[in-house]
Amino acid sequence: MFAIARTELTQIFRNRLVLVTSFIMPVAVSAFFIYRHDAFASFASLGYIAAIVMFTVGAFGLYTTTVTTLASRRQNLFLKRLRSTAESDAGILSGLILPATVIAAVQVAGILTVFGVVAGAPSNVPLLVVAVIAVIAMMIGLALATAGVTNSPEHAQVTTLPVSLGVIAVASWVGITGTEELTMLKRLLPGGAATELVTNAWNGGVALSDSLILLAPTFAWVVVAVSFAHRMFRWEPRR
């Protein structure tokens, strides 16, 4: 698994498109939100900005990169060749996904640390860490599911848009309007409960038990996505 991960990390740094998607775009968007956090404070909380930063990295840095990687490795038959080795299917996928996951986790940690220094520290750091882990797990699950219906790296530019833009839109909707109205709908949408969890962790003022229950919808999406991926994922190009 780790040998595959090292090889994949090298490929990431050689691919300019992946570098832009994984590094430049998330960091640029995050820097904008952090720089303009005072302007956003007029209609949204600091927790909302933290959630948007997290989902920007998760959507473009982790989700899109993972889908593109798996589609590319399938197209050039690298996945098929890996299955002829002693590595298990789970080990192969873990090795391919690990570099993008670690990079995304480091980015989120670094950006949120800077945001905390600039705008004020979060109220509950452990809860924020749990929220970040939950979002990373959800985005990986959604990436595996999307990779199952993505035929090529070029096709990934289309298939990843609904989820990438969708989770950011949901995060903005929940972060700005709250969950006082349409509570169940907002929490059940992908990213809705996680946004509320991040907001609670950063802003405080909510009981821990009320926040932890928000993990259920997020991990439910992980289960749904992985189940879909199990049925749809292909190791060889579709004919």
As a whole number, mean pLDDT of residues 143-154 equals 90
pLDDT of residue 211: 84
* pTM exceeds 0.75, yes or no: yes
**Residue 104 pLDDT > 80, yes or no?**
yes
Enclosing domain of residue 170? 2-232
pLDDT of residue 142: 93
70: CB partners within 8 A, 6+ apart? 79, 93, 96, 143, 144, 147, 150
pLDDT of residue 159: 93
Measured in degrees and rounded to the nearest 5, phi and psi for residue 169 equal -65, -45
Determine, yes or no, domain membership for 67.
yes
Determine, yes or no, domain membership for 23.
yes
pLDDT of residue 154: 87
Determine, yes or no, domain membership for 59.
yes
> What amino acid is encoded at 62 in this protein?
L
Q: How far is CA 135 from the centre of its chain?
A: 6
Determine, yes or no, domain membership for 237.
no
Determine, yes or no, domain membership for 238.
no
Tell me the three state secondary structure of residue 111.
helix
User: Which class for 187: exposed (0-12), middle (13-18), buried (19 or more C-beta within 10 A)?
Assistant: buried
Rounding to the nearest 10 degrees, give the CA dihedral for residues 221, 222, 224, 228. Answer: 130
Distance, in Å, from the CA atom of 211 to the CA atom of 131, rounded to the nearest integer, reads 10
Determine, yes or no, domain membership for 62.
yes
What is the overall mean pLDDT for the chain?
87
Q: What is the enclosing helix (H) or strand (E) of 122?
A: none
As a whole number, mean pLDDT of residues 152-164 equals 91
238 band by pLDDT with thresholds 50, 70 and 90: low
Number of domains in the chain: 1
Determine, yes or no, domain membership for 217.
yes
Q: Which two tokens stand for residue 82?
A: 């890996």
As a whole number, mean pLDDT of residues 193-201 equals 93
Contact 198, 129 (CB under 8 A): no
Determine, yes or no, domain membership for 32.
yes
Q: How far is CA 208 from the centre of its chain?
A: 24
